[in-house]
Structure 1
Amino acid sequence: MKKTMILMLCMFLVLMVTACSQESPLGKSNDPAVKNWELVKESGMSSTVTLCVNSANEAELEWLKDDFADYLKLTYNIELKIIEQSQEKTFENLKSDQKNEIQMGQYDLILFDDTGFKDAMDAGYLFGPFANELPNVKLYLNPYDIEVRYDEGIEVAQYEVPIGRSQLSFIFNEDYFYEVPETYEGLFELIKTFQGKFIYPDPRLSPEGEAFVVGYLSRALDFEKLNEKLYSEAELYELIKPSLETLAAIKPDLYMAGQIYPKSIAEIDQLFFNEDLIFSMSMDYYHATDMLKAYEYPESADVFAMNEGTTGPVSHMAILFNSSNKSGAMVVINAMLSPEMQASKYDTRKWRQLPIYDPSYVPSEALAEIKKVKLKTSALKQDEILMYRIPELSPYYKNLMIKLWETHVLLETSEEAAQ
């Protein structure tokens, strides 16, 4: 009996030791990457990090100053200092630092809401590579996602990290039709059916108009090749010629026969409210809900996502070359990628920026926080939009496409388009 009890006790101790070795954080800390990150985090805690932001978006600025800053203070005892100034001013100061060989600069981080990365890389303003040292980059970002690998047509090369996206969604009046189109071909059929009831904003003046035109023209292109080779205007024209011809062909079916393209979504929303149009669109996934609440949309307004995809800008964060607190800056970017902060800035009452997570890639537990965000039925969920995303093109290609649209669609006569 004693032998049996001793044997059972030994087996129990072996199982306990095995379990502890599997669950102990000490065992995990033997990984050099984990050890390195712990050192970075320890170095960055209880410090001040300065972030340069160039944005007119009050919701974005408020979220950064309040929600995000509070999270950093509570979690890492980091003070986040926001510097609101133009990108040109930030670059001007960095250029001066380079010239005067100032190794400990006044800024740590920069937020690129649209463009600026390529210019900063070319000028040597950024620190890196660093992105793969961040645990949340490895956990939550799809390494094969072209928007994680490229920005403005060049490889990111771990010198910046994407933190969120915006994307075009469509708004329609259910009194006219209920079954929404899944493809652009289906959308154009509806435009022909309800002649004069659809228009998109001028892509030269409106972010939504640019997203609509560029998204449609680029939807079938090979983005890898576009980033690897700089196509000329003539070469790009040959690639998108059929799509340009389609946009020209539907002009007679547009509002006022496509002779006038509204300058902004505000103009289109007014036409939509008056039922002169039965379509609108927005880069804000909660825009229709707001407009319904304010009684500035028809009561039957609803939203839909195109399965063939839409596009929109990506926001990034980067560390500046002479940051005096690179460890703190890395902790801040890593925190921005956490499920808590991705869900917080997605919240309808806050920034309303779509998460950077790829819904088909990120672990389900990371999406749990995001799914807690409560939406009205007149708003699309993040996975309903991001699952059908067309990657953002570089400014070079976007500008070329708008130029080609101007030549072959805007200035095309109805008679020529019909031939």
Structure 2
Amino acid sequence: MKTPFAITLALLLATPAFADWDDTLAAARGQTVYWNAWGGDARTNAFIDWVGTHTEERYGVKVEQVKLTDTAEAVTRVLSEKSAGRMTDGTVDLLWVNGPNFLAMKTQGLLHPPFVADLPNARYLDLGPDSPASVDFTVPTEGMESPWRLAKFVFTYDSARIDTPPATMADFVEWTAANPGRMTHPDPSNFMGATFLKQALIELAPDMAALQSEVNDDAYEAATAPLWAWYDAIKPNLWRGGETFPENESVQQQLLNDGEVDIAMSFDPASAASAIMQGLLPETVRVYTPEAGSIGNISFVAIPFNAAHSEGAQVVANFLIDPETQAHMQNIDVLGSFSVLDPAKLDAAAQARFEALPSNPALPELADLGPTLLEPHASWMTKLTQDWTRRYAQ
């Protein structure tokens, strides 16, 4: 005679979700997942290698990272395959994607049908309609992206050279005038430079709510007028007179390390602590956010509509949100990226694993990062960077 527990377990295992996942695991075994991901950070690349080692050991799923300099490269490839009629056996299995690139893929039908709710580890996520795990730059993910790491815009500065960094974006006008050449930002063609402009836009715009809707000409002109006046004021006092800009945040970090500038920026609150541990920044570097808060979002992975190994991609996406994986990722000795899991959904053992993680003087607590400001609609980023190029790079 079966016990009530055995009957309950049998019923659970008979549900379509569990049965489908067993089928997914079986189909995934032996697959190699080609994960297209930005390759500009050595520790992220090492973490992806670690993921592949463990998914191969546990599930027989290999991971090959296709290192991108720009996510749009992979999006263009998927679009080209669709245009050529390649509806199956695509070359991209999993893609680290956000914002405008996700919007473009969703709009053009380049994404795998919703899959996140079917991942067993999705039970650790807050998937409410307004949760950051369900919205990407104001665009509902509708289960077509799975979260894997938390991102938040921060400034890094050398406390040996600066006592009090600018508390607001508006304060950069006075600070750069008093410290000419000691600050710059990555070129806005890079997402970090674009994020710097968006942070200023959010703080300076007369109506922040307007940024949450798709951009139109009238709203754009009203919202950006204070931004361009602000930028015109700081540009002459930027590094090299604002006539040239570092290619990306890694180059800007090197400028901070070399003492050419005093302030840099990142979309990873743990990046400074990580760089110090690697000898890439002085031990006096610290992290802060503007007093009103800073832009934050979640990094997602998506599966293209024609992925050759979609089952393996789902296995990798599920592994990424395993509490053990998330705690390993958040360890500053590994990557230091904050977890996307809902702490209230974790059991005591998982919570203890996070509480035992090491700290670092340059690693802020989550509470120290202040309010999280919503990303503008993805269309604002596209128009903003185009306008910057027209105004300042021609």
User: Which moves more between the two structures, 157-166 or 136-145?
Assistant: 136-145
Verify: 1:337 aligned to 2:321, yes or no: yes
The aligned residue for residue 154 of structure 2 is 169
Distance 1:332 1:106 in 2: 17
Quote the sequence identity (%). 17
Distance 2:266 2:86 in 1: 45
Deviation at 1:251, TM superposition (A): 4.1
Matches within 5 A, 1:106-125: 109-114=93-98, 116-125=101-110
Name which of 4, 8, 20 aligns with 1:27.
Answer: 8
Deviation at 1:209, TM superposition (A): 2.2
For the Cα contact (< 8 Å) 1:171–1:281, is it kept in 2? Answer: yes
Distance 2:249 2:91 in 1: 36
The aligned residue for residue 53 of structure 1 is 35
Amino acid at match of 1:306: P
Look up the SS of the partner of 2:292 in the other structure. coil
Deviation at 1:217, TM superposition (A): 0.8
Amino acid at match of 1:389: T
Distance 2:114 2:275 in 1: 44
Look up the SS of the partner of 1:311 in the other structure. strand
For the Cα contact (< 8 Å) 1:113–1:314, is it kept in 2? Answer: no
Distance 1:207 1:243 in 2: 18
The aligned residue for residue 17 of structure 2 is 37
Amino acid at match of 1:346: Q
Distance 1:246 1:74 in 2: 53
Verify: 1:196 aligned to 2:180, yes or no: yes
Distance 2:191 2:90 in 1: 33
User: Which moves more between the two structures, 44-53 or 178-187?
Assistant: 178-187
Name which of 136, 157, 173 aligns with 1:151.
Answer: 136
In the alignment, structure 2 segments of 5+ residues that lack a partner are: 68-72
Judged with a 3 Å threshold, the aligned counterparts in structure 2 of structure 1 residues 62 and 342 are, in CA distance, closer, same or farther, namely: same
| Deviation per residue, 1:383-410 (Å, 9 max, x gap) | 544x5333444553112223444567x4
For the Cα contact (< 8 Å) 2:52–2:61, is it kept in 1? Answer: yes
Verify: 1:303 aligned to 2:283, yes or no: no
Verify: 1:184 aligned to 2:169, yes or no: yes
Judged with a 3 Å threshold, the aligned counterparts in structure 2 of structure 1 residues 133 and 294 are, in CA distance, closer, same or farther, namely: closer
Deviation at 1:158, TM superposition (A): 1.7
Distance 2:57 2:189 in 1: 42
For the Cα contact (< 8 Å) 1:191–1:197, is it kept in 2? Answer: yes
The aligned residue for residue 382 of structure 2 is 399
Deviation at 1:181, TM superposition (A): 5.5
Matches within 5 A, 1:46-85: 46=26, 47-55=29-37, 56-57=39-40, 58-65=42-49, 67-75=50-58, 77-82=59-64, 84=66
Amino acid at match of 1:277: V
The aligned residue for residue 198 of structure 2 is 214
Look up the SS of the partner of 2:364 in the other structure. coil
For the Cα contact (< 8 Å) 1:147–1:392, is it kept in 2? Answer: no
Look up the SS of the partner of 2:152 in the other structure. coil
Name which of 374, 377, 380 aligns with 2:361.
Answer: 377
Look up the SS of the partner of 1:163 in the other structure. strand
For the Cα contact (< 8 Å) 1:142–1:362, is it kept in 2? Answer: no
The aligned residue for residue 114 of structure 2 is 129
For the Cα contact (< 8 Å) 1:164–1:315, is it kept in 2? Answer: yes
Judged with a 3 Å threshold, the aligned counterparts in structure 2 of structure 1 residues 392 and 357 are, in CA distance, closer, same or farther, namely: farther
Judged with a 3 Å threshold, the aligned counterparts in structure 2 of structure 1 residues 245 and 376 are, in CA distance, closer, same or farther, namely: same
Q: Please report the RMSD computed on the Cα atoms of aligned residues, expressed in angstroms.
A: 4.0
Distance 2:47 2:298 in 1: 17
Deviation at 1:141, TM superposition (A): 2.9
| Deviation per residue, 1:254-280 (Å, 9 max, x gap) | 446545544444554455445453322
Judged with a 3 Å threshold, the aligned counterparts in structure 2 of structure 1 residues 188 and 25 are, in CA distance, closer, same or farther, namely: farther
Name which of 367, 373, 392 aligns with 1:390.
Answer: 373
In the alignment, structure 1 segments of 5+ residues that lack a partner are: 1-19, 412-419
Amino acid at match of 1:52: Y
Look up the SS of the partner of 1:162 in the other structure. strand
Distance 1:188 1:73 in 2: 52
Deviation at 1:161, TM superposition (A): 1.8
Distance 1:253 1:303 in 2: 22
Judged with a 3 Å threshold, the aligned counterparts in structure 2 of structure 1 residues 268 and 59 are, in CA distance, closer, same or farther, namely: closer
Look up the SS of the partner of 1:143 in the other structure. coil
Q: Which TM-score applies when normalising by structure 2?
A: 0.76
For the Cα contact (< 8 Å) 1:44–1:325, is it kept in 2? Answer: no
Q: Which TM-score applies when normalising by structure 1?
A: 0.72
Name which of 216, 223, 228 aligns with 1:232.
Answer: 216
Distance 2:146 2:250 in 1: 32
Look up the SS of the partner of 2:372 in the other structure. coil
Deviation at 1:238, TM superposition (A): 0.3
User: Which moves more between the two structures, 376-385 or 35-44?
Assistant: 376-385
